[in-house]
Chain A
């Protein structure tokens, strides 16, 4: 960094200089998450929120919302909304139940043999894609507002879920199917035992280390690229502080998980999805077209973007992620139930807005939405451990959503 900028004296001044060029708003929700974790670490009885098992629970209990949040942020950036995801998750859970278990007592399905777990999962995701095509068709090609289409879908797919399940539950599921919602990578720690390590799950530690290295490598290479092209970068101090902090956090959580049953498969799935979708949104034409459509629809049309096609595939994508969410919740509960996924759409939408997306569209990130979802998850988990009643929990969650967005609006206005 050059010394062109005026240097201020004193500690505060130096700190301010070091932090010049840091986007505080983007980092604010991340800091809010850390604060929440710290708060519950102190207040929960016996620091229950920091136990290995609780970290493990936190991941698997919120996985299905976070999966939805990824699809939802894309929909919201494009200027739409999807109210049907909870119902679709329930419907797909039912479909996966039919495919994987096919209970004989279900009338009309006796011709269908139970299929292997992976066929059930793939089949369920295909049905999710079909659901997305249905909604995408109405939004993209018929020009019906997504709010209406998915409000209808909310009823429609809840109805189909009830019909498919014939008002009962399907379960239990085969172990391999359950693993995706409830299982862990190398739960028995066979690798660790080979090396004589009993206390920690070795595979979990290895995955954590690889994850930290990958993160550092990617942020360093991004920074190098920007410097090579003479673009402004975050101040060096902040860059190191931020990445060290992230690495320590990941290391900490990874270490905790290794003391429990290891890395949940849900977490593996989530990380893969986060990486893939971050790349899609930041670095592919499809992602860039989504931002362009949300930012200015007319300009996007006149720039040659096939808006209908983008909208259509957005909903197909959302359908598939809803399906995945449905599979996760079904696997976790070991039962396909008609009430599954109730209210998921609201949790997913809140995550996206807490994560900094704009109601007008054009603004939002996958990672922001994940952090937004985590804030809600940590909040709920911490309040449960503190035995806070459901009445109080709802009130708090509502206020958090309101204040998070109000802060966002306020800070945007300030920078204008």
Chain B
């Protein structure tokens, strides 16, 4: 009895030189949660941009039928007017404005031409209650966490009388508790009759929440799976996404572990804005040559903070503790010192902290090791090109040449540039923070292979990741971190997700250390 609220019929969208979407047909039933899966660059975002009017009617072929009406969208306002609201992965909130101001941005409640702040506050409160937030609507948005900001976005969507809510990677930046809350909320909306389209890389969430899943690959719809009828699991979705059975998502290897290379002792870090707050609390860890060690923890547990404070005190304040490389204590007060001591750190956020996106591949790769290319004070650009070209080949960076601009590459290829930069420093220990975040299944496999090759060459590798299966797949040993303390250490033979999850969620006892 459920009718289709939305039908996208034979949508074809071309950009100069590429077919982004080819003959895509998508049917979404009223009151269901419909997931869209596909590797990066498969065409998911383009499809949603067509649907929300970012690409206006006439710039694509095919029809959009919403509530039995063929749409003729000119811009986003048109689609929002009809009740189609999209929430992008990068949140579109204005950080210094309050929650209420953000919710009613460009949709202000006015009386006689002036904004009615009392009514705005009241309405905001009602909307916040619907998404389970008890925050004061006057709180500036940058004072609340990412999870809550996501909920504010949803409240903003609700204020527009949304009928079809589109969420692009809604949980990518959220911790497990916030993700779970968000998914609950979606289920609740569904029971109230709202329709949702969700785009996600987290297949376990899709398996848990979606009624239907449409898989897109290279601009084509591969299939639409009914998540209730068939026995559909994550492996089934992955098969559709990559076009082949991924029997093994992690390459196999035979580790050859040597002497201890890297050791951190009694590492304590305080928050840079609040010097009283302990973020990393007497952490101890070590990594041996040829070993891949994982650091598991939920977001905010202090993983990145630990890594960045070790890497030249590039985060935090009032840092104490000692770092040893090859048994010798080293100074890591500046990033330069850390690099010279043999430590390399590749960031979790390559666009913000890792790459100069407007510059080319070769200059990004050489940046941390520029001295190696310098003779008599002059940098040899030809040598840079040569070395970068070698990385392009060995890392399989898909780009026309080492002179290509990094900003134009896909996420996976950008990540390979970041890794090349740090491999070229020839460090003893590589700290890789979320090396596979936001990149597709195929590229992930390549990154894992690169990590394993590094270990095989005798490097010590410390991998930080939010994805537990990934750590279980590639590591020889895993540390768990919770609230800034190392709460457990598990060797490969004892690996179990349950045990690690338990360590990762260990609450800190009242500490007076």
Q: List 19 A-B contacts (CB under 8 A).
A: A231-B403, A279-B378, A284-B378, A285-B377, A285-B379, A288-B379, A291-B359, A292-B359, A296-B353, A299-B354, A302-B345, A302-B353, A303-B368, A303-B421, A304-B335, A304-B339, A306-B336, A362-B356, A362-B359
8 more CB-based (< 8 A) A-B contacts, given A305-B367, A363-B358: A225-B382, A228-B382, A229-B383, A288-B367, A291-B363, A295-B356, A299-B356, A303-B421
Q: How far is the CA of A304 from the CA of B344 in the complex (A)?
A: 10
Task: Answer whether residue A232 sits at the interface, using C-beta atoms and an 8 A cutoff.
Answer: yes
Q: Ordered nearest first, which 9 A-B pairs have the shortest CB separation?
A: A295-B356, A303-B368, A229-B382, A304-B335, A304-B336, A298-B353, A283-B378, A303-B367, A296-B356
Q: How far is the CA of A102 from the CA of B441 in the complex (A)?
A: 76
Chain B residues with Cβ below 8 Å from A229 are 382-383, 385-386
* Closest A residue by C-beta to B335: A304
Task: Answer whether residue B92 sits at the interface, using C-beta atoms and an 8 A cutoff.
Answer: no
Q: How far is the CA of A363 from the CA of B407 in the complex (A)?
A: 14
Q: How far is the CA of A225 from the CA of B379 in the complex (A)?
A: 13
Contact B379 A301 (CB under 8 A): no
Chain B residues with Cβ below 8 Å from A302 are 311, 314, 335, 345, 347, 353-354
Contact A304 B359 (CB under 8 A): no
Q: How far is the CB of A229 from chain B (nearest CB, A)?
A: 4
Task: Answer whether residue B493 sits at the interface, using C-beta atoms and an 8 A cutoff.
Answer: no
Contact B358 A304 (CB under 8 A): no
Task: Answer whether residue A226 sits at the interface, using C-beta atoms and an 8 A cutoff.
Answer: yes
Q: How far is the CA of A229 from the CA of B339 in the complex (A)?
A: 29
Q: How far is the CA of A103 from the CA of B336 in the complex (A)?
A: 51
Contact A232 B379 (CB under 8 A): no
Q: How far is the CA of A231 from the CA of B374 in the complex (A)?
A: 19
Chain A residues with Cβ below 8 Å from B421 are 303
Q: How far is the CA of A304 from the CA of B386 in the complex (A)?
A: 23
Contact A226 B335 (CB under 8 A): no
Q: How far is the CA of A366 from the CA of B87 in the complex (A)?
A: 43
**Contact check: which of A226, A279, A292, A304 meets B382 at CB < 8 Å?**
A226
Q: How far is the CA of A299 from the CA of B379 in the complex (A)?
A: 20
Q: How far is the CA of A225 from the CA of B386 in the complex (A)?
A: 12
Task: Answer whether residue B381 sits at the interface, using C-beta atoms and an 8 A cutoff.
Answer: yes
* B contact residues vs A (CB 8 Å cutoff): 311-312, 314, 334-336, 338-339, 345, 347, 352-359, 363, 367-368, 370-371, 374, 377-379, 381-383, 385-386, 389, 401, 403, 421
Q: How far is the CA of A291 from the CA of B421 in the complex (A)?
A: 17
Chain A residues with Cβ below 8 Å from B359 are 291-292, 295, 362
Chain B residues with Cβ below 8 Å from A298 are 352-353
Per the CB 8 Å criterion, the residue count for chain A at the interface is 30
Given that A229-B382, A304-B339 are known contacts, is A285 also in contact with B358, CB under 8 Å in the complex?
no
* Closest A residue by C-beta to B357: A296
Chain A residues with Cβ below 8 Å from B357 are 295-296
Contact B335 A231 (CB under 8 A): no
Question: Using an 8 Å CB-CB cutoff, how does the interface string of A359-385 with B read, 1 for contact, 0 for none?
Answer: 000110000000000000000000000
Chain B residues with Cβ below 8 Å from A284 are 374, 377-379
Which one of B312, B352, B353 has the greatest number of beta carbons of chain A within 10 Å? B353
* Closest A residue by C-beta to B355: A299
Q: How far is the CB of B343 from chain A (nearest CB, A)?
A: 10
Contact A231 B379 (CB under 8 A): no
Question: Using an 8 Å CB-CB cutoff, how does the interface string of A277-321 with B read, 1 for contact, 0 for none?
Answer: 001001111001101100110111111111000000000000000
| A201-258, CB < 8 A from B | 225-226, 228-232
Chain B residues with Cβ below 8 Å from A230 are 389
* Closest A residue by C-beta to B351: A296
Q: How far is the CB of B393 from chain A (nearest CB, A)?
A: 12
Contact A285 B356 (CB under 8 A): no
Q: How far is the CA of A226 from the CA of B421 in the complex (A)?
A: 22
**Contact check: which of B335, B378, B382 meets A303 at CB < 8 Å?**
B335
Contact A299 B386 (CB under 8 A): no
**Contact check: which of A285, A296, A304 meets B374 at CB < 8 Å?**
A285
Chain B residues with Cβ below 8 Å from A299 are 353-356, 367
Chain A residues with Cβ below 8 Å from B335 are 301-305
Contact A301 B374 (CB under 8 A): no
* Closest B residue by C-beta to A286: B377
**Contact check: which of B355, B358, B368, B385 meets A231 at CB < 8 Å?**
B385
Contact A362 B311 (CB under 8 A): no
Q: How far is the CA of A230 from the CA of B311 in the complex (A)?
A: 36
**Contact check: which of B368, B377, B381 meets A304 at CB < 8 Å?**
B368
Contact A362 B401 (CB under 8 A): no
Chain B residues with Cβ below 8 Å from A232 are 401, 403
Contact B379 A283 (CB under 8 A): yes
* Closest A residue by C-beta to B345: A302
Contact B368 A295 (CB under 8 A): no
* Closest A residue by C-beta to B364: A299
Chain A residues with Cβ below 8 Å from B379 are 283-285, 288
